[in-house]
Chain A
Amino acid sequence: MKGVDINVYDFDFDLTFAVLLMNADGTIYHRYGGRDWTDPQSHLSVASLVDVLEKTLPDHASYAKKPSPPKKRRAVSVDRMPAMLRKKRQPNCYHCHMVHDAMTEERQQRKVFKRSDVWRYPDPHELGFQVERDDQVRIKEVVPTSAAAKAGLKEGARIYTIAGKRVLSLADVMRALHEARSGPGRLEVTFWQDGEERTGAFPLRKGWKEPVPLNFSWRASKWKLSPKPGFGGQQLKPAQLAKLGLDEEAFAFRVGYVVTWGPARHTGQNAIRAGIRKGDVILSFDGDNEFESVDHWHAWFRLRKKAGEKIKVTLLRGGKRKTITLPVVD
């Protein structure tokens, strides 16, 4: 990403694979390459990419008849962002997710960071719907009573526009949600359903963009967020759980590291003071162990916990259960 102007090449920088389809004047027609928490390639397929490419060509042809180039903005690249320039050692290689990291660091350093700063590119789950992988405007599922259900969407419907902007892919849908106001309000959606074109609106409640930790769990940008637990490790597999006499379907992880280095070492030191040790098997937090993965737990900790709170951590050490109190620190 070194030297890439993020004001022009603007996409979800937490990514597996991102495609921009654009005009030479900088107008972005469509984006491709969104994903959800289930798999890095949850929405990558040749069929869906070909579909987006084919449908972009007529959009390009009609744009040529009435071009509206974007306003020119000051060029910004990740390697020139203040948070990066302040580092003693500049990275040799700039990964895409470092753009979000630099944005977060910058706001943290200026002490103006808000949790809502990371509510980027909302997953459609936040409004209660999912889209198919191969036909990414086709609704795969609608949660009853969700904003999507209230907008009139049903399984099998095909979204045409969101807020007046044509969408062709999950990445387009997430971009449209990203550009929508945080709420409260309404977000217009047009779609094809039961053989006819319909118009509806997602009712947006205040804070609707705040991600459910599971939806946020895959994002590399979560690591920069605080509070941090100061430790982590590998999730135990069913056979490992059974060997410890635990439910094979339960969530548990073995502490593989405690952060005792770098700028977040105080979080690891805090965990050690509280009684966390490398090798402990972590079973629950305040009795909660409904986590799909260690990443899910990391996202939950960062999004849901606040400095000053105390968490009861139940763990297994030497075959014995133990509960310790972990103060949450920033």
Chain B
Amino acid sequence: MKALATVLLVLGLIVLVGAVVGAPPASGEEEIQGVTWLTDLDAARAEARTTGRPILIVFR
């Protein structure tokens, strides 16, 4: 139960996978099995505000 929160902006499953595979992770991002996740909750919300996408947050 690590307190790591990972955040993904969701467009839809097909778009989600297509959009994130191959993108190199930048600062505040983490790549897990080819999917780039944001690791900063505030940054994710700011991006979701800009793009109008919903947010998927994982706590584990």
Contacts and interface: CB of A to CB of B under 8 A. Distances in A.
Interface string B16-60: 000000000000000000000000010001101100111111111
B3 A54 contact: no
Contact of A17 (B13, B48, B49, B58): B58
B14 to A, nearest CB: 11
A96 interface: yes
Given A53-B10, A57-B12, A19 B56 contact: yes
A11 B13 contact: no
Contact of B57 (A15, A19, A56, A60): A19
B48 A23 contact: yes
Contacts of B48: 23-24
Given A17-B60, A24-B45, A95 B13 contact: no
Contacts of A103: none
A221 to B, nearest CB: 12
A31 to B, nearest CB: 10
Given A17-B60, A57-B10, A57-B12, A96 B54 contact: no
Contacts of A264: none
Nearest to B48: A24
Given A53-B13, A57-B10, A20 B2 contact: no
Given A15-B1, A16-B1, A53-B13, A22 B55 contact: yes
> Which of under 10, 10 to 19, 20 to 34, or 35 or more describes the interface residues of B?
20 to 34
A50 interface: yes
B55 to A, nearest CB: 5
A2 B3 CA distance: 8
A20 B48 CA distance: 14
A319 B12 CA distance: 63
B56 A21 contact: yes
Contact of A21 (B2, B49, B54): B54
Interface in A190-249: 220
A94 B3 contact: yes
A15 B52 contact: no
B3 A18 contact: no
B55 A23 contact: yes
A17 B5 CA distance: 10
Contacts of A97: 1
B54 A9 contact: no
A112 interface: no
Among B52, B54, B56, max chain A CB count under 10 A is at B54
Contacts of B49: 24-25
Contacts of A54: 12-13
B57 to A, nearest CB: 4
Nearest to A98: B3
A20 B56 CA distance: 6
A71 B3 CA distance: 26
7 contacts: A2-B3, A17-B60, A18-B58, A23-B54, A25-B49, A54-B13, A93-B2
Interface of B: 1-3, 5, 10, 12-13, 41, 45-46, 48-49, 52-60
Given A53-B13, A96-B59, 4 more contacts: A9-B5, A17-B60, A24-B49, A64-B52
> 9 closest A-B pairs (Cβ-Cβ)?
A24-B48, A1-B3, A24-B49, A60-B54, A18-B59, A20-B57, A24-B45, A17-B60, A95-B1
